[in-house]
Amino acid sequence: MLPAKDIYEVAIVGAGVCGTALLYTLSNYTNISKIALLEKNQAVALVNSHQNSNSQTLHFGDIETNYTLAKAQKVNRAASLVKNYLLQHDPQQEIYTKYHKMVLAVGKEQTEQVKKRYQEFKQLFPELRLIEREEIEFIEPKVLQGRNTEEEILALYTPEGYTVDFQKLAQSFVDNALENRHKTIELMMGTKVKKIETRADLFYIHMEQKTIAAKTVAVMAGAHSLLLAKSMGYGRDYALLSVAGSFYFAPEMLNGKVYTVQLQKLPFAAIHGDPEVHDRRRTRFGPTAKVLPMLERHNYRTIWEYFQTAGLSLAAFKSFWKILSDPFIFKYILKNFIYDIPFIGKRLFIKEVRRIVPSIKLSELQFAKGYGGIRPQIVDLKSQSLEMGEAKIIGDRILFNVTPSPGASTCLQNARDDTERLISFLGEEYTFNRERFLADLAGEESYQSQSV
Ligand X SMILES: Cc1cc2nc3c(=O)[nH]c(=O)nc-3n(C[C@H](O)[C@H](O)[C@H](O)COP(=O)(O)OP(=O)(O)OC[C@H]3O[C@@H](n4cnc5c(N)ncnc54)[C@H](O)[C@@H]3O)c2cc1C
Given the rule CB under 6 A, which residues bind ligand X? 13-19, 38-41, 45-49, 53-57, 59, 166, 192-193, 220-222, 224, 245, 287, 372-375, 403-409
Minimum Å gap between C-beta 125 and ligand X is 17
The contacts of residue 402 (CB under 8 Å, 6+ apart) are 222, 223, 225, 226, 238, 240, 376, 378, 390, 391, 392, 393
CB of 401 to ligand X, least distance (A): 6
Measured N-to-C along each axis, helices 69-89 and 434-441 cross at an angle, to the nearest 10 degrees, of 80
Query: Phi/psi of residue 204, each to 5°?
Result: -110, 120
Handedness of CA 445, 446, 451, 452 (dihedral sign): positive
Nearer to ligand X, 221 or 442 (CB): 221
CB of 428 to ligand X, least distance (A): 30
Helix (H, G, I), strand (E, B) or coil at 397: coil
Give the CA radius of gyration of the chain: 22
Nearest to ligand X of 9, 305 (CB atom): 305
Question: Nearer Cβ to ligand X, position 61 or 245?
Answer: 245
Q: Which residues, 6+ apart, have CB-to-CB distance to 446 below 8 Å?
A: 77, 80, 438
Pairing outcome for strands 279-286 and 272-276: antiparallel
- 137 versus 390: smaller Cβ distance to ligand X: 390
Residue 407 · residue 390 · CB < 8 Å: yes
Cβ proximity to ligand X: between 9 and 274 the closer is 274
Q: How far is the CB of 349 from ligand X (least distance, A)?
A: 14
Spell out the residues 6+ positions from residue 109 whose beta carbon is closer than 8 angstroms to its own: none
Packed helices 108-121 and 69-89: angle between N→C axes, nearest 10 degrees? 70
* Burial of 333 from C-beta contacts in 10 A (0-12 / 13-18 / 19+): middle
Shortest Å, Cβ 115 to ligand X? 26
Rounded CA-CA distance 360/379 in Å is 37
Q: How far apart are CA 224 and CA 228, in angstroms?
A: 6
Compare residues 132 and 197 and give the one whose CB is closer to ligand X: 197
Residue among 105 and 221 whose Cβ is closer to ligand X: 221
Q: Tell me how far, at minimum, the Cβ of 219 lies from ligand X, in Å.
A: 8
Nearest CB to ligand X, comparing residues 29 and 60: 60
H runs (alpha helix) in 270-408: 302-310, 314-324, 327-339, 344-354
